[in-house]
Structure 1
Amino acid sequence: MELLLLSNSTAYGRTYLDHAMDPISEILNGTKKVLFVPFALADHDGYTAQAADAFSPLGVTVTGAHVGDSIDLTREAEAIFVGGGNSFRLLKELHARGLTRIIRDHVRGGVPYIGSSAGTNMACPTLRTTNDMPIVEPPTFDALGLVPFQINPHYVEHSPDSTHMGETRSKRLTEFLEENDVPVVALREGTWLRQSSDRLKLDGSSTGGVLFRRGSAPEPARRNTDLSELLEAQVRFDQRDTYS
């Protein structure tokens, strides 16, 4: 599979997707048509227009998955970009439109998949490591399952100068691992995961990310870290695939 999973779509001081245009151009590899999935935001037309503006310097045409028959558009897509926003709203709409298995099968068949934030959450087995508020209730937390591990975008560490006494992001991910034995890759801003075939690498900002595993201390993951070992569970994961 060809995956580009961005922690965020907008970096501080830069325009939408500007920080990630090099890996986007690489994964598209000459593809000139992208299907944009805008369902994480309410304004589908405006969101699609924003994506189209960002892709235009690459000579790429963007079509919104909400324009016409979503299933037909997805089946015909040459590349798929799932934008960020609210993960619960996005997943609910994907299930409502019958797109989860179609996207998954299309991407497994070789169509490039780009996700940012909520779109990156969708590539995981489940929604359960999102940061978002559950503003709607999807029928299931099962997501696309393109990778056999979880991702936490927008990862931030607790500041030692902060007086906030609530749970830190690290604490919340530790709680997740108390109930679920699956690795979590926490991506700081400006970072991404790039999968090509059976190779997986963390790239982007020098701030890197953090790898959380059950029963182990969090492990720093720097830029250019090879995380291909996390894909080894994909075959076992696919064998228990029960998604609709």
Structure 2
Amino acid sequence: MRLLLLSNSTAPGHGYLDHAREEIADFLAGARRLAFVPYAGADHDGYTAQVSRALTPLGVEVTGVHAGPDPAEAVAAADAVFVGGGNSFRLLTALHRHGLVEAIRTRVAAGAGYMGSSAGTNMACPTLRTTNDMPIVQPPTFAALGLVPFQINPHYLDAAPDSSHMGETRAQRIAEFHQENDVPVLGLREGTWLRADDARLTLGGVAAGAVLFERGSAPVELRPGTELTRLLTTTALFDAADR
């Protein structure tokens, strides 16, 4: 299984996907046809054009799965699949509506690379439950692609000690998740990503790294280069509502 899961698609001072360009180029090496899933956004044509401008120079032909009569067929014909960011509730709803959950699972199991950013990274998890988004639509289920057996929180933010914000911090929200579910949650800070090649999982990106939350344990700071392969053997125990 080959995965590249980005916390974010745009970093301050960089163009779209530029902060991870070298990693993306390496990940997509050898791929000629890329199926882009634009359903997390509202303007599917515009979103696909943005991705095409960023990735075509890397030697891949980008096709929006929405452009043809059968999105699942577009995925089946691709060497790699990229699921972009936006609203994860809207995205998951569309994946189920268009038959893409099983189509993407099948294609990735057959060797195609899966790249996600933000909401697309959420989709690689067993469920939607650690997204940051508002539920602007109602998906038929919170169950997502399950390409990895643990949860990810993209755009992870540390609490600012001088902030006047009185709501829950991101760490507190993840602690609430662990009151009901026993599965690791990886908080990916901006500019970081996960790379899986076959049975090896590694953290990459900026020095800020990530934070690993596990039920009953203190959060663990992780730096780029950390191998996280053990997370691929996680047994995910969720509340029964997701099943």
TM-score by length of 2: 0.95
- After TM superposition, list the pairs within 5 Å mapping 1:75-114 onto structure 2: 75-114=76-115
Supply the AA of the counterpart residue of 2:200: R
Aligned position for 2:239: none
1:121 Cα offset (Å): 0.2
**Aligned match of 1:25:** 25
The 1-side partners of 2:93 and 2:44 are apart by: 15
Which ranges of structure 1 fall in alignment gaps of 5 or more residues?
Answer: 238-242
Alignment of 1:207-218 (within 5 A): 207-218=208-219
**Structure 1 residue runs of 4+, over 2 Å off?**
none
Amino acid at match of 2:124: A
Between the aligned partners of 2:36 and 2:72, the Cα distance in structure 1 is: 13
Cα distance in 2 for partners of 1:34, 1:113 equals: 10
2:11 matched to which residue of 1? 11
Partner secondary structure for residue 105 of structure 2: helix
Other-structure match for 1:128 = 129
- 1:181-200 equivalence runs, <5 A: 181-200=182-201
Q: Report what 2:226 is aligned to.
A: 225
What letter matches 1:229 in structure 2? R
1:38-84 deviation digits (Å, cap 9, x = unpaired): 00001000000000000022122100010111111111111100000
Q: Which residue of 2 aligns with 1:240?
A: none
The one-letter code sitting in structure 2 at the alignment partner of 1:59 is: G
**Secondary structure of residue in 1 paired with 2:111:** coil
Provide structure 2 residue ranges, at least 5 long, that are not aligned to the other structure.
237-241
Q: 2 CA distance for matches of 1:125 and 1:25? A: 27
Size of the aligned set, in residue pairs, is 237
CA distance in 1, matches of 2:155, 2:41: 18
Shift of 1:25: 1.2
Q: CA deviation at 1:90?
A: 0.2
| 1:52 aligned partner | 52
The answer for the alignment partner of 2:160 in structure 1 is 159
Q: Percent identity?
A: 62
Question: What does 1:200-211 align with in structure 2 at a 5 Å threshold?
Answer: 200-211=201-212
Deviation string 1:96-151 (CA, Å, 9 cap, x unpaired) is 01110110111011100000000000000000000000000000000000000000
SS at match of 2:66: coil
